[in-house]
Structure 1
Amino acid sequence: MSHRDDLREAADALGGSVVVCGLGAYADRLAGSTFRNARYAPVAELLAEPTGASTEGSTASPTAAVVVALDPEGLGESTESLRALAGLDAFTVAVVPSGTGADALSAVREAVDAVLLAEGADVEAAIGSFLATVQEPGFVNLDLTDAETVLSSGVAALGTGTADRDAPASAVSRAFDGLPAGIDATDASAVLVDVVVDPATSIAAATDVIAAVRERIGDDANVIWGGTVDETAADALAVRLVVAGVRHAPPLAAGDPCPRCGASLSTYRFGASETLSCDACGYSGISMRRD
């Protein structure tokens, strides 16, 4: 068995120590879902397990981390379950849609160890990318300890980007552009970087990726990186970013309160474009959320 096969076996075994569950609308949406690097369990089943154990009859490792998909609109009904999950002896990460408001985001952040913003409402895809980042074996491995170090810095967001293998800076630029709308990564306090290359790409490309990442963040930001080879990739290089300690101001929608006076915003169409304005105070040109 090759060294890479050994790493794959180790990662698959570790997958049993990470549990994915859902609250609110995601409880039904994720039911029956499969995750290569984790096991799915309903919240009630997970909370009923003996502390530190896995599902009865399973050979999986004791639970080390819980990744919970959360619907902020049902946060009130889910708060008790969320706090119970956070009370487990495991690293708890809540994955929420990027349109989550500041108050709801703050409430979630107080209840769990870490919060990860997904692009739009594609929470399931964000969970998959996050798990691949921290558990796929590679020439430099990232793990849950690295994730905990970065995510403890505050609210985090995930972005991915792909480019030609000879254009690592372009992949980094696309990954930052792929962060959820309203994210300002300029003052990020920590970044987890995963570089995925094809077999023909030099490992030195990872150095170029890290340099390009550092150009987009502050000098004091903590950067932890890893890299892996994707045997199925052809002439491509991918970058996955988990950027933490970010400022988040989600775009608004019609009916939301005006950031200047608090009155309800209205939508106005100009040709093919739309914008938000406030009839009460005249504030206009406001970034608009696309649901």
Structure 2
Amino acid sequence: MASSIFQTLVQRQIETFVQTFADDSSKLFRNQDNKLFHPGEYGMYKEACLRNLLSTILSRKEAVSDGFIITSRDNHSTQCDILIHNASTMPLIDAGVAKFFPVEDVYAIGEVKSNLGKSDAVKALRKLSENKKLIDDRINKIDNTNLLHHDTIITFLVCNKFEFDIRTLNFEEVYQDIKRKYWHNFILSLEDGIFYYKIVSEKLPSKLQTRFREAGMATQYDFQYPEFILRSKEGPLQYNAERSSYLPEQDKKYDHIFKFLAGLKDAVDSAPRYSFDGITYLGQNAK
């Protein structure tokens, strides 16, 4: 079942997002010679457009910002265009500009780009993976799940379009020295479609196939994670998800954006929550 009113409202937000992200941002920040001026403001404008769209589908428990991630082990991220975080988090702010969020309160990280060539796409994906590695510094997990792939920070790349066929990009080569758990969750191109993963049950290890049959799962379905990991008494059962995509259709030109929003919300809602402990960050734990 679905609400036609909510669908219409979200579609209006998507239409505004597409127009401002792809059309208005270019027109507002290019001169008569079609040369880009104020590139910093141009980038911030696109990021603000996406943050506004994401805010329409997230719950009140989450907020969208930009900034940096810090950990109790004195590690930190590079600058993040999009951070989906605990709405009750009070970020540390330096000089009224730079915002810092504890890794325990961050649920998703996004990179926002315009038109991307292959080398820049690889650079953006690897940047996301390096920032995602901060999940290993999180402490004080609150809840638990048998679906271990949920225990991550969701990462995504959003751009206007690719200047190459993204389907030819070999992720094993992109992430050749990076563990699969740090790979991206979503890639969204407004012109090219959404790129994520899929589970094909007949290709699962036999124990996982049995679990899927018992649970009445479909033989194939879209998946938001690069790997499927199920806790079991014998140890984690793992399967590397296959890449999948959904390309825009003429009469359904926003369906790929709907799929991105739905998949992102589901992944954020499924992420285990951690508890930020300021005492640990201050290094004042009892010895």
TM-score bucket of the superposed structures, by smaller chain: under 0.3
- TM-score normalised according to structure 1 size: 0.28
Task: Indicate the structure with greater helix content.
Answer: 2
